[in-house]
C-alpha cells in the first residue's frame, strides 16, 4: 500500500487583516466562512450576491488556499472581471493562476489543452454566428435537400434548434413537436443537416460556442485520467447564477466537484427565468438531493428596495409551489410611496400617463437614467415609444431596436411603401429579396422589368399588380412565392384603391410574410406579435400615407439616426424587457401592460402548464425587485382589436396575489 504524505501549506506572509464578521451581515458571513464541502447559497434579489461570492474567494485565499486551486464560474465576462477586481482590492496579490471566467471561456481553455482527444487540433477556430450560418448553408447544399417546394428553416433557426437539442437533452423530434411544430415535416432533413454540420466542424477544425461546453464534457466522460487531473487541481469550485445553468453546465460542475465535493453554488431560484434558452431550474432545486451533505444558506437582507416594494415582492412570489422559501427584509427605511396600481382607459392613455409622470419625476429631481419602463414583450413598448418621442423625452432601448427599426417591421412596411409609391426601388427590392432563389442580380432585373411597364410613375396604383408582374421572368425556385406576392399586392390596392392600413398589414402578414418569419427567425412568435401590434396601432389611421409618414419619422433611414435619438452620454429613460432587466436596478420602475394575455403571456395561459406559469410569476417578481424607491403597475382596461372590436381586459391574475393594502390604486382622469 502506498504511503500517504501531506505537503504543508507555503507561508502566505500573513492575513489580509479583513474583519469579515464586521464587513458582512450575519447571513453573508455564515456563508462566506463556511467550512469546505458542498454549499448552496440562496441569495435573494438585492442581497449582495456578488459581495458574498467575492468575499468567499478572499476568505479562502486568506486561509492559505492557493489561487491555482480555485475555479470561479460565471455567466458573463463582466461578472468575472468585476469579482476578480474586487478580490484584488481586498487581497492585493497575484491572481493569474486563479481560473475565473464564463463557462464557455473555461471550456475553451480546457479544450485548447486537449483538443486532439475530441478530433480537433489546438489551433481550432471558434465559429461566430455568421460563421455558423455560412457553414450550415454549405452543409445544406452538400446534403442536396430540395427546398424549392416547401420552406426549409433558415440557418439562424437551425442554429437555435441544434443548440437547444445539445443543451437540454431533448431529442430533435421532441423539440420540433414542442417548439417548432411547423417544421415537423422536415424532421429527417434537419437531422441529416445536424449530423453533417457536426462532421463539417471537425473537418474544418472548428467549434461553435455550444461545443465549448459539449466537447469538454465529452472529454471528461471519455477520459477518466484527464477528469481526475482537473478534479485534483481544483480544490474549490464557486459558481455564480446557478439557477441559470443548463444540463451540460450542471454535469460539468458535478464531474469537476468530485471527489472533494468542495463546491459552493450561488443563485436565486426565484429569479430563474430563462428556460426558453435551455436553463433548468431543477438544477438548483435538486442540489440538496444530489449533494446530501450540502449546507444551505439563505441571504435575505435586501439593500436595494424600500420595504413597501419588498412586501409586495414577497407576497407575489409566495404563491409559487416550487421554490426555496425565503422572505426579503429591507435594510432601508420605509419610503414615502406605496406601490401604485394604475388602471388606464387604453394603450394610448397608458402611454400618456407614463410620459407625464416621467416629466413630473424629472421636475422632482429624479435623473432620467434612474427611470425604467419594463414590459413582458418588446412590442408592448410601441405606444410608449411614440409618446416619449412626441414629448421629446430621450430614451434608450435595451430589449432591441426601436420598434420601427426592426427588420420585420421594415419588411412589412416595404410592401406598403411600394404600393403607395411605385418609384420606390428600395422597397421593391427589399420584398423581392425575401423570396427564395432571388438575389441582388435577379432583384435588379425585376426592378428594370417593372420600370419598363411604365407603371412606376403612375399617381394611382394599377387595377391589378398580378396582371402585370406575373409576366416577369422569375427563377423556378421563386415562382410559387412570386405569384403569392403579386396577389398580396393586389389585396393592398384592390381595383386601384388603397385598402385600410390595418387591412393592408394583415394581408401582408397572412398572405406571405408569416411563412417567411417562421422559416427565418428563431424568435418567430415575438416577431409575429410585433406585426400584429403594428396592425393594431394602424387602426388609428385611415390614410396609408399618414401612417407611412409616421413610421418614417419614428425609424432610422439607411442606418442614420433620427432627430429623436440622442448621444449615449445624455440622460435617457430606459425601456427594457424584463428578461433584459435582470440584474439591473432603478429608482423608479414602470411595469406596463399588466393584463391577462399580456402578462402573464397568452401562450402561457393557453398551455395550462404549472412550470411555465410559475416561471412567468418569477418574471413578475424579477420586475418588481428592480425598483429601489417608486413602483408603478399599469394596464389598459380596453385593448383595441382590428376585427373583433375593443376587448375589455382583465387585470393580470398576478395582481390577485397582492394584498390590497400593499397597493394604492390611482384613478387617472381624462385630459380636459
**Residues with catalytic function:** 49-50, 240-241, 271, 626
How many Å is the Cα radius of gyration of the chain? Answer: 28
Backbone angles phi, psi at 593, to 5 degrees: 60, 45
> Can you say how many angstroms the Cα of residue 529 is from the centroid of all Cα atoms in its chain?
16
Cell numbers at 62, concatenated: 486568506
Instruction: Give kind and range of the element (H or E) at residue 78.
Output: helix 77-90
Cell numbers at 650, concatenated: 382583465
Residue closest to 601 by CA, chosen among 581, 617, 584, 624: 617
- Whole-angstrom Cα distance, residue 556 to residue 397? 14
Give whole-number Cα distances, 616 to 144, 609, 621, 628, in Å. 42, 11, 9, 22
Contact in structure between 371 and 586 (CB atoms under 8 Å): yes
Cell numbers at 568, concatenated: 449615449
Which DSSP string do the residues of 450-472 spell out, in sequence order? HHHTT-TT-SS--S-HHHHHTTS
Contact in structure between 394 and 566 (CB atoms under 8 Å): yes
- Whole-angstrom Cα distance, residue 255 to residue 253? 5
Cell numbers at 493, concatenated: 390596392
Cell numbers at 86, concatenated: 474586487
**HSE value, Cβ hemisphere, 13 Å, CA-based, for 403:** 30
Q: What is the dihedral of CA 97, 99, 105, 107, to 10 degrees?
A: 110
Instruction: Give the list of residues 6+ apart from residue 352 with CB closer than 8 angstroms, or none.
Output: 387, 671
* Helical segments of 117-244, H only: 129-143, 155-168, 172-179, 187-203, 211-222, 224-233
Contact in structure between 117 and 220 (CB atoms under 8 Å): no
Q: Strand pairing of 371-375 and 586-591?
A: parallel
Which DSSP string do the residues of 384-443 spell out, in sequence order? HHHHHHHTT--EEESSSS-GGGSHHHHHHHHHHHHHH-TT-HHHHHHHHTTSTT--HHHH
Q: Within a 10 A sphere around the Cβ of 107, how many other Cβ atoms?
A: 26
Output b/e per residue, 281-316; b: 16+ Cβ within 10 A: bbbbbebeeebeebbebbbbbbebbbbbbbbbbbbb
Instruction: Give kind and range of the element (H or E) at residue 329.
Output: strand 329-330
Residue closest to 236 by CA, chosen among 217, 256, 216: 256
Give whole-number Cα distances, 86 to 76, 271, 614, in Å. 16, 24, 35
Amino acid at each position: 500500500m502506498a504511503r500517504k504524505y501531506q505537503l504543508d501549506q507555503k507561508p502566505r506572509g500573513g492575513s489580509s487583516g479583513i474583519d469579515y464578521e464586521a464587513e458582512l451581515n450575519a447571513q453573508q458571513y455564515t456563508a462566506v466562512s463556511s467550512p469546505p464541502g458542498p454549499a448552496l447559497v440562496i441569495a435573494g434579489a438585492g442581497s449582495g450576491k456578488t459581495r458574498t461570492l467575492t468575499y468567499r474567494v478572499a476568505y479562502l485565499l486568506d486561509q492559505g488556499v492557493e489561487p491555482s486551486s480555485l475555479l470561479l464560474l460565471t455567466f458573463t465576462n463582466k461578472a468575472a472581471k468585476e469579482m476578480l477586481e474586487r478580490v484584488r482590492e481586498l487581497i492585493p496579490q497575484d491572481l493569474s493562476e486563479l481560473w475565473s471566467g464564463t463557462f464557455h471561456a473555461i471550456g475553451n481553455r480546457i479544450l485548447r489543452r486537449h483538443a486532439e482527444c475530441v478530433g480537433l487540433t489546438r489551433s481550432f477556430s471558434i465559429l461566430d454566428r455568421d460563421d455558423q450560418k455560412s457553414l450550415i448553408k454549405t452543409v445544406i447544399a452538400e446534403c442536396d435537400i430540395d427546398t424549392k417546394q416547401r420552406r426549409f428553416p433558415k440557418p439562424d433557426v437551425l442554429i437555435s434548434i441544434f443548440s437547444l437539442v445539445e443543451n437540454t437533452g431533448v431529442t430533435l423530434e421532441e423539440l420540433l413537436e414542442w417548439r417548432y411544430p411547423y417544421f415537423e415535416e422536415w424532421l429527417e432533413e434537419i437531422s441529416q443537416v445536424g449530423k453533417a454540420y457536426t462532421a463539417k466542424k471537425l473537418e474544418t477544425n472548428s467549434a461553435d460556442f455550444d461545443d465549448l461546453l459539449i466537447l469538454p464534457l465529452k472529454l471528461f466522460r471519455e477520459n477518466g485520467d484527464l477528469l481526475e487531473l482537473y478534479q485534483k487541481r481544483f480544490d474549490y469550485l464557486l459558481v455564480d447564477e446557478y439557477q441559470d445553468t443548463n444540463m451540460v453546465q450542471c454535469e460539468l460542475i458535478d464531474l469537476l466537484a468530485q471527489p472533494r465535493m468542495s463546491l459552493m453554488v450561488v443563485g436565486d431560484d426565484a429569479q430563474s427565468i430563462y428556460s426558453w434558452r435551455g436553463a433548468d431550474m431543477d438544477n438548483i432545486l435538486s442540489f440538496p438531493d444530489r449533494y446530501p451533505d450540502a449546507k444551505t444558506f439563505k441571504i435575505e437582507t435586501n439593500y436595494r428596495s424600500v420595504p413597501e416594494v419588498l412586501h409586495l415582492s414577497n407576497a407575489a412570489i409566495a404563491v409559487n409551489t416550487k421554490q426555496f422559501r425565503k422572505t426579503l427584509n429591507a435594510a432601508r427605511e420605509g419610503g414615502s410611496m406605496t406601490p401604485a396600481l394604475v388602471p388606464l382607459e387604453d394603450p394610448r392613455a397608458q402611454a400618456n400617463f407614463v410620459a407625464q409622470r416621467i416629466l413630473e419625476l424629472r421636475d422632482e429631481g429624479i435623473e432620467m437614467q434612474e427611470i425604467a419602463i419594463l414590459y413582458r414583450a418588446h412590442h408592448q413598448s410601441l405606444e410608449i415609444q411614440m409618446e416619449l418621442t412626441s414629448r421629446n423625452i430621450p430614451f434608450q432601448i435595451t430589449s432591441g431596436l426601436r420598434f420601427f427599426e426592426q427588420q420585420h417591421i421594415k419588411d412589412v412596411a416595404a410592401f406598403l411603401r411600394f404600393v403607395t409609391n411605385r418609384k420606390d426601388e428600395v422597397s421593391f427590392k427589399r420584398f423581392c429579396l425575401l423570396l427564395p432563389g432571388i438575389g441582388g442580380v435577379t432583384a435588379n432585373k425585376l426592378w428594370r422589368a417593372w420600370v419598363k411597364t411604365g407603371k412606376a410613375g403612375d399617381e394611382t396604383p394599377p387595377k391589378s399588380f398580378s396582371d402585370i408582374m406575373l409576366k416577369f421572368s422569375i427563377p423556378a425556385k421563386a415562382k410559387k412565392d412570386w405569384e403569392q406576392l403579386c396577389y398580396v399586392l393586389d389585396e393592398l390596392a384592390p381595383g386601384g384603391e388603397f385598402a385600410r392600413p390595418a387591412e393592408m398589414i394583415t394581408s401582408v402578414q397572412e398572405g406571405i410574410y408569416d411563412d417567411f418569419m417562421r422559416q427565418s427567425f428563431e424568435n418567430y412568435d415575438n416577431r409575429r406579435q410585433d406585426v400584429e401590434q403594428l396592425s393594431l396601432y394602424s387602426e388609428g389611421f385611415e390614410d396609408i400615407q399618414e401612417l407611412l409618414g409616421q413610421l418614417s419619422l419614428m425609424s432610422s433611414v439607411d442606418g442614420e439616426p433620427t432627430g429623436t435619438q440622442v448621444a449615449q452620454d445624455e440622460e435617457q429613460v430606459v425601456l427594457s424587457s424584463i428578461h433584459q432587466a435582470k440584474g439591473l436596478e432603478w429608482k423608479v420602475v414602470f411595469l406596463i401592460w399588466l393584463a391577462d394575455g399580456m402578462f402573464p403571456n397568452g401562450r402561457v395561459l393557453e398551455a395550462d402548464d404549472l412550470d411555465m406559469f410559475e416561471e412567468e410569476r418569477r418574471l413578475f417578481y424579477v420586475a418588481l425587485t428592480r425598483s429601489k424607491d417608486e413602483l408603478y403597475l399599469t394596464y389598459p382596461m380596453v385593448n383595441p382589436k382590428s376585427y373583433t372590436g375593443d376587448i375589455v381586459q382583465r387585470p393580470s391574475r398576478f395582481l390577485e396575489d397582492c394584498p390590497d393594502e400593499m397597493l394604492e390604486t390611482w384613478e387617472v382622469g381624462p385630459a380636459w
